[in-house]
Amino acid sequence: MHTQYAICKDHLTLQRTRASLRIPVERFRILHPEAPMDLREEIERDLSTEPVDRFAIEDALRAGRRTVVRRRALSALAATVASVAIATSLVVALDPGAAPSGDRVASRGADRCDLPSAGRTSAECEGYQLLQDDPVAYTSSGTLVIRDGWTYTARIMDPLVGVDAAAVEVTDGADTDWALLKEPGADGSLFAQHADPADLRGDLTFGAWVSYVASRWQGTPATLLVAYTRGGDLEALPGWAIRQQATGLTMPAGYRGPTGVDAVVQLDDDARTWYLVQRAGGMALAFPLFGRFGSVEDVLAHVSSPAYDPDRQCMLGEAQ
């Protein structure tokens, strides 16, 4: 089971397998992994106690970034450290053309890389720590590392618009991991999302999953979620299922969303994201809309109110 944390303005998003929970950063607290209550139930209970303040941006963003850095990365490596070679005994060279250039680093949970007496370089130790949770990751210095025994089986080039990132599928022969990984920022902070395809619908492809995640990260329209039928309704594309939809809509006065939208849809797999759907050359472009809306009417009211900001319908936000 993989857990992913991400910042979008005033919210921290927690992604755990198929569940995506958006919570105010200032209310997020790290739970002990052995806590008796299920993580989702605990966060749901916290969410129910008070309304979300969507516009407490700066303080929440600073607090959230500190949390992400503590959880997902060590401090940024100095340029001199980045050039240090990883110990030969722990590196398995990638086969030529095997996929993204990177180092293969063994993951050993019992090792104490944080101790200088271990005799390991900082780059090597960071690789160890990152690969305890996920089989592939960027280090804060920009090196793509993969757990020993795993191999690359697929890669999508340029998965994000205008942002350096890698979308890879890796496997150890028994398990598979899908990952969308943004290259580290100037401060060494990391941003990534992982999924085990065994936890998803059987007909969902790697490409469709990457399109879905990239859309949520950047607020760009997804093209592999739904399609228009001849009758004008929406149907889910392979890998997805529709929970609610309304088509043939005329947007209300004051509407502030993308032009040409005539449908609204919510997927079964993500109760906290709706999509504003636009026809474009025979395709259905689905623009993400984050929020806890109970109905289509609630969605239309929101996108016609001053509370809606189309530039903030993303997870990546200022991390770009």
Instruction: Write down the pLDDT at residue 95.
Output: 38
Task: Kindly state whether residues 91 and 127 are assigned to the same domain.
Answer: yes
The confidence score (pLDDT) of residue 128 equals: 64
Q: Does an H or E element contain 241, and which?
A: none
If asked whether residues 308 and 235 sit together in one domain, one would say: yes
The pLDDT of residue 180 is 96
Please check whether residue 314 lies inside any domain of the structure: yes
Among 165, 184, 203, residue at a domain's last position:
184
* Mean pLDDT within 88-102: 37
87 vs 67, residue with greater confidence? 67
Residue that terminates a domain, selected from 73, 91, 121: 73
pLDDT at 247: 96
The answer to whether position 248 is within a domain reads yes
Which of the residue ranges 18-22, 88-92, 166-170, 206-210 would you say has the lowest mean pLDDT? 88-92
Rounded CA-CA distance 230/309 in Å is: 32
pLDDT digits (tens, 9 = 90+) for 222-234: 999 999 998 889 9
23 & 102 share domain: no
Q: Are residues 140 and 228 in the same domain?
A: no
| Sign of the four-CA dihedral 28, 71, 42, 291 | positive
Q: Which pLDDT tens digit goes with each residue over 112-171?
A: 444 444 445 555 566 666 788 899 988 888 888 888 889 999 999 889 988 999 999 999
Residue 21 vs residue 178, higher pLDDT: 178
Check residue 93 and give its pLDDT. Answer: 27
| Closest by Cα among 153, 149, 89, 148 to 121 | 89
Any domain includes 287: yes
Residue 193 lies in a domain: no
227-268 pLDDT per residue, tens: 999 888 999 999 999 999 999 999 999 999 999 999 999 998
pTM above 0.75, yes or no: no
Nearest Cα residue to 170 out of 142, 217, 200, 137: 137
Both 160 and 68 in one domain: the answer is no
State how many domains the chain has: 3
Pick 91 or 315 by higher pLDDT: 315
Regarding whether 169 and 83 lie in a shared domain, the answer is yes
Apex CA 181: angle with CA 179 and CA 184, to 5°?
A: 160
Q: Per DSSP, what are the bridge partners of residue 195? A: 178
Percent of the chain with pLDDT over 90: 41
- Residue burial 5-32, b: 16+ Cβ < 10 Å; e: rest: bbbbbbbbbbbbbebbbbbbbeebeeee
| One domain, residues 227 and 250 | yes
The residues, any chain, with a CB within 8 Å of residue 158's CB and separated by 6 or more, are 165
223 and 138 within one domain: no
Give the range among 69-78, 103-112, 311-320 with minimum mean pLDDT. Answer: 69-78
Give a yes or no: residue 196 inside a domain: no
Closest CA to 128 of 152, 94, 103, 105: 105
211 located within any domain: no
Strands of the sheet with 273-280, listed across from one edge: 242-246, 261-267, 273-280, 283-290
- Grouping H, G, I as helix, E, B as strand and the rest as coil, residue 112 is coil
- The pLDDT value recorded for residue 266 is 95
Residues 69 and 82 in one domain: no
Asked whether residue 133 falls in the same domain as residue 40, the answer is no
In the listed set 20, 44, 73, which residue is the last one of a domain according to the structure? 73
User: Residue 97, Cα to own-chain centre: how many angstroms?
Assistant: 27
Looking at the domain assignment, is residue 191 inside a domain? no
To 10 degrees, the CA torsion angle through 98, 103, 107, 112?
Answer: 180
Q: Which residue has the higher pLDDT, 85 or 314?
A: 314
Under the banding of pLDDT at 50, 70 and 90, the label for residue 278 is very high
Strands 144-147 vs 103-105: parallel, antiparallel or unpaired: parallel
The answer on pLDDT for 205 being more than 70 is: yes
Same structural domain, 52 and 86: no
Instruction: State whether residue 235 is helix, strand or coil.
Output: strand
What is the distance between the alpha carbons of residues 302 and 309, in angstroms, rounded to a whole number?
10
Residue 275 has pLDDT above 50, yes or no: yes
DSSP state of 296: H
Q: Residues 5, 71: contact at Cβ < 8 Å?
A: yes
Range of the domain at 121: 78-184
Instruction: Return d(Cα 320, Cα 307) in angstroms, integer.
Output: 23
Residue type, 189: S
What's the confidence (pLDDT) of residue 157? Answer: 87
d(CA 181, CA 179): 6
- 39 and 84 share one domain: no
Name the more confident of 43 and 137: 137
Domain-embedded: residue 34: yes
Instruction: Provide the mean pLDDT of the chain.
Output: 71
Question: Residue 320 pLDDT > 60, yes or no?
Answer: no
